[in-house]
């Protein structure tokens, strides 16, 4: 199982009467006292399945055709959904397709969320690939990824002195 407690996630390596030992995604080994583990916010990430929902935020310029972006991203990300890791496990939950949802009206962008159910142990690598595919797809299709900006208007004239 993969668990998360107090923001620390990893694969359970051993459970004894007093403690639970996990190996984190970056290779660290951490032991939690069982009494502390179950009295804190604890999440078993693979209790019902091996996948975790990842939501990747994407901002596009106002005026962009959101439906076009949705279709482009789904088409570009779907091939990742059919890949397997070295152990032959699908990288994503093949029963739930990639989705792109309208999220919000941001200060500088129309905000979308790309949602994919990813294999927990491959989360870091898959998330990086997904973000790279999103970036390249938007650039290739001339879709602007805005950044926060402000217009400053300077009034001419002499300020009033008191």
- Given this model, what pLDDT does residue 144 score? 95
Fold of 2-44: SH3 type barrels. (2.30.30)
pLDDT tens readout for residues 131-149: 999 999 999 999 999 987 7
φ, ψ for residue 117, nearest 5 deg: -90, 110
Spatial distance between the Cα atoms of 25 and 112, rounded to a whole number of angstroms: 28
The answer to whether 114 touches 80, Cβ cutoff 8 Å, is no
pLDDT tens readout for residues 82-117: 898 888 988 888 888 999 999 999 999 999 999 999
- Given this model, what pLDDT does residue 129 score? 94
Domain assignments of the chain as residue spans, ordered by start: 2-44, 51-140
Instruction: Match domain 51-140 to its CATH number in 3.40.640.10, 3.30.43.10, 3.40.50.300, 3.30.70.100.
Output: 3.30.70.100
- Given this model, what pLDDT does residue 51 score? 85
pTM of the model: 0.72
pLDDT at 155 over 90: no
- Given this model, what pLDDT does residue 102 score? 97
């Amino acid at each position: 199982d993969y668990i998360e407690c107090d923001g620390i996630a990893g694969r359970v390596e051993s459970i004894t009467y007093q403690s639970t030992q996990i190996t984190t995604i970056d290779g660290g080994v951490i032991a939690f006292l069982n009494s502390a583990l179950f009295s804190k916010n604890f999440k078993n990430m693979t209790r019902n399945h091996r996948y975790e929902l990842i939501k990747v935020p994407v901002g596009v310029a106002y005026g962009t055709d959101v439906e076009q972006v949705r279709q482009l991203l789904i088409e570009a990300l779907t091939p990742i959904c059919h890949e397997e890791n070295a152990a032959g496990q699908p990288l994503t939950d093949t029963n739930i397709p990639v989705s792109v949802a309208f999220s919000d009206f941001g200060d500088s962008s129309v905000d979308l969320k790309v949602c994919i159910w990813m294999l927990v142990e491959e989360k870091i690598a898959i998330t990086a690939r997904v973000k790279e595919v999103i970036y390249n797809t938007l650039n290739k299709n001339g879709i602007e990824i805005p950044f926060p900006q402000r217009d400053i208007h300077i009034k001419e004239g002499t300020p009033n002195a008191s």
